[in-house]
Structure 1
Amino acid sequence: AMKRDYTLVLKGTMQLSRTRFPRGTLSPMLDALARAPLWEQGIEFGHGTGHGVGYFLNVHEGPQSISKAIPDAHMAMEAGMITSIEPGVYRPGQWGVRIENLVLNVPARPPEGTAFAEFLEFETLTLCPIDTRCIDLGLMRADEVAWLNAYHATVRERLAPRVSGDALAWLNSRTAPI
């Protein structure tokens, strides 16, 4: 059951991390994307999925809030915003799972032949391995495994030049393809 919860939270993190959305989308409208894998299994979490992250120690900074908040025009997603993505499940007296990454809103390259609105996507800023030992691979789709392997390849590529010895061996083992 714990592996299922972990995998569903990871799927929510990945689903939101991979999405494209029109510039100006109201941030609460993105919340259901991270919750959907959990909702499909009848699981809900009581906290927001994400929030703006500022500087000068303002960890929770708007205007964006990926949550069940009632959307309002000042919550529009714009390029350059840093936001957390952090779905989670807590089972009192048993375990809790939260997988959190910080992402940057960046312009998305439009697919060939489209001429719709300007779109944004998330660039993942957090470069930390996601523990694969807790994943129930039976719940993962091929595209999700591919995303996780690509994320881990980026983590390894960016961090490996900065570590050596045991730390490098650990990094390589924790970012190996699944």
Structure 2
Amino acid sequence: MSNLVMIWRLYKHVELKKIWLLIVFGFIGIPIGGYLLLVSDGVILKISVGLLILGFAILLLRRVTFPIRNEYLAYPTVGLLSGILNGSISASGPPLVLFLANQGKDQQVFKANLAFYSIFLNLSTLAVFYFNGTLDRAVASIIVQLLVIMIAGTGMGMAMARRIDQQMFRKLVIYLLIASSVSMILGAIPF
């Protein structure tokens, strides 16, 4: 829902000629991730992914980047990883966010590409979860309840974005990656 609002505002910034590769390979990765969810230990998977994201986010925060000259070759890998993570632990964003931040994308392009990609990937993931039996009434109920919070957060974020320059946007993205990876790690640890 929030991605639809973002696309409505930023559609002219979507780099469709580049991100179609993300979408195709993201679709390929979703069932692989769905299978991975069924056959692996979710705790180990979440902690491992969280640590990996945290490490790359810290490198970006310290301004260590790995600029990729040929993005057309990188998009399939990023899309596949994103699809696998979405299909397994519902975390498609970090590979793409890390990639876009690493490449120094303008914040409008960054948000537009992320939102456009997420619409397609999340709808596909819901279908995979449904067919795997991991999307039941309880999960669907939680999703509906969280929609209100998501819509409110989207509105607040869009209002704040008008006041944030490119450098501050990059820092916020990295800090959010760090916070989400720490949250993923702590949320996976059974207490």
Q: Fold-level match, TM-score > 0.5?
A: no
TM superposition score category, shorter chain reference: under 0.3
Is the helix fraction higher in 1 or 2?
2
Q: How does the TM-score come out when normalised to structure 1?
A: 0.24
